[in-house]
């Protein structure tokens, strides 16, 4: 299951090299996983209201081509692992106008209890929603 | 009472015009008021632990000269109003190497209750610390 | 003439007070004026390719209500002054779901020569486009 | 050869989970490599003035422990590869107060020609400075 999200690059996301600052792609990976979860019916707001946090434990990115302000990008997010304690996603960010792949990446999150900070198992009401996405993983 | 803080500009704070993006100065005003409070013995951590938030209600800035990465800046923060319900500060950001004034500004904060979101009066244990700073205002 | 732009708030735009960090609204004002110019047929890319920069000289904002991630905002940008050497805009940022006005603000930009850094007059090919917007100002 | 840099965490670098937003560590890796180069006598300003850019091609990070505003962090940067066409660095970010390691990471940069965007070999006047650092790598 892959979820797509379009994002225009803003001027404040560029740097003095005349391109998008690389740290922004790491931020946009976050948009990707938020939209992935929304697509399966889970919002971060609901998770947080239930005292569940989802800190990132690992991220990596390869920067293949630069982009610039006004570019319209497509963030493609694919789940590679969805369990009750963690999620992993692959990302591909490309430019709509020419289809060029700009950045690829991967991240891992765990679920933690907001009060204790410890890893906690995702309640069934959320996990059941992830399962539909998992089925699509195997296709 | 004026509190000074030095800050080096980092590359990720520049934009494609080849200078510091203006939104960063607004962020650095925040450093200024945090350091002002620290100088009078109040930390934001303590305030937040006591359920007190301090949202900004107003900010303005004049951008007089640009700065660039690697510049070492001085943020000068002066309280102009310190009451139990609000604080106001003037800022002046200059470059250490040539003393040039880059940005001047002003902001207002209120104190609010973290649970209700409503404006709340600052407890005496904090306000007494602001009073020493207030005395210096009148000098 | 007023130009509208919709923007969803992302998680990375929040802060530890549990709301959008105020500096982001200053960044979104920039989106507003970029989209205003695009609406009259001027892109920043074209300006920069012609060696014209547009540094901000002044900004102010009033923060009336907080917003949170996942909120969909509307940035309304109205030109208040458009000459060959400067532009001024009013901004109003509201939340789509309840129409609440979150932030209002104002900014001034000048046009400068990218090489000299000095204020320069906007070439007619751009200024003629601003004039149509100016006519609408007077309505 | 390892270069250390101290950085206080600012409030605007936190997010709604009540900790530093992970994208900031990626930004602070940049501080690390800038300070590494400064320690061997190379500034980014000089490189850029000579038309040399240094885009990131790859970054990865493991997030081991969270940090919060007001924490004073130490960014330790170690070069793992320094050639005429690329640089690679390891990073370790820890908190000064308790020595806890928060984030580890690695990045690769290439040198490119600012005009053509193509990979270019670092001129000897810079490379000779990297060589002293390289000798220390082998120790």
pLDDT tens, residue by residue, C82-114: 999 999 999 999 999 999 999 999 999 999 999
C26: helix, strand or coil: helix
Contacts of A46 (CB under 8 A, 6+ apart): A126
Q: What single string gives the DSSP state of each residue in A16-31?
A: TTSSB-THHHHHHHHH
Low-confidence ranges of chain D (pLDDT < 70): 136-139
Q: Which residues of chain D approach chain C closer than 8 Å at the C-beta?
A: 11-12, 14-16, 18-19, 21, 23, 68-69
- Supply the pLDDT for residue B137: 59
Buried b (16+ CB within 10 A) or exposed e, A109-136: bbbbeeeeeeebebeeebbebbeebbee
What token pair was written down for A110? Answer: 């765990």
**pLDDT at residue C139 above 90?**
no
| Chain C residues within 8 A of A12 when measuring between CB atoms | 27, 30
Q: Is C53 in contact with C90 (CB distance < 8 Å)?
A: no
User: Distance between CA atoms of A38 and A126, rounded to whole angstroms?
Assistant: 11
Interface of C with D (CB under 8 A): 11-12, 14-16, 18-19, 21, 23, 68-69
- The chain D residue lying nearest A26, using CA atoms, is D23
* CA-based R_g, chain A, Å: 16
User: Do D68 and D12 meet the contact criterion of CB atoms below 8 Å apart?
Assistant: no
Measured CA to CA, the distance from residue A14 to residue A3 in angstroms comes to 25
**3-state SS string for B3-29:** EEEEEECCHHHECCCCCECCHHHHHHH
Q: Choose, out of B9, B10, B16, the residue to mutate when testing the contact with A (most A CBs < 10 Å).
A: B16
Total CB pairs under 8 A between chain B and D: 30
Of all residues in chain B, the one with the smallest CA distance to D70 is B45
Interface chains of chain C (3 or more CB pairs under 8 Å): A, B, D
Nearest CA in chain A to D64: A57
- Helix then strand then coil, % of chain A, to nearest 5: 30, 40, 30
* Chain C residue closest in CA terms to A46: C70
How confident is residue B127, by pLDDT bands cut at 50, 70 and 90?
Answer: very high
- Using the 8-state DSSP alphabet, how is residue A51 labeled? T
Q: Do D69 and B44 touch (CB under 8 A)?
A: yes
Residues of chain B with C-beta less than 8 angstroms from the C-beta of C53: 17
Taking an 8 Å cut-off on Cβ atoms, the answer to whether C45 and A70 are in contact is yes
CB D28 within 8 A of CB D75: yes
Q: Does ipTM come in above 0.90?
A: yes
Q: What is the mean pLDDT of chain C?
A: 95
> Nearest CA to CA, how far is D87 from chain C (Å)?
29
Report the pLDDT averaged over residues B116-130. 94
Is 70 exceeded by the pLDDT of residue C136?
Answer: no
> Could you identify the residue written with the tokens 């692959």?
A90
pLDDT by residue (tens digit) across B77-111? 999 999 999 999 999 999 999 999 999 999 999 99
Tokens coding A1: 């299951």
H/E element holding D39? helix D23-39
From chain C, pick out residues whose CB is under 8 angstroms from the CB of A45. 68-70
């Amino acid at each position: 299951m892959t979820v797509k999200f379009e994002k225009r690059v803003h001027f404040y996301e560029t740097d003095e090299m005349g391109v998008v600052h690389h740290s922004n792609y790491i931020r946009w990976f976050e948009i990707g996983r938020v939209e992935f979860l929304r697509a399966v019916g889970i919002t971060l707001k609901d998770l947080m209201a239930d005292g569940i946090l989802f800190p990132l434990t690992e991220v990596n990115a390869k920067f293949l081509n630069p982009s610039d302000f006004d570019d319209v990008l497509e963030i493609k997010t694919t789940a590679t692992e969805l369990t009750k304690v963690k999620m992993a996603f692959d990302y591909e960010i490309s430019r709509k106008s020419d289809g060029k792949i700009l950045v690829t990446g991967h991240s891992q999150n765990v679920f933690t209890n907001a009060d204790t900070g410890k890893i906690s198992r995702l309640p069934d009401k959320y996990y059941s929603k992830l399962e539909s996405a998992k089925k699509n993983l195997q296709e």
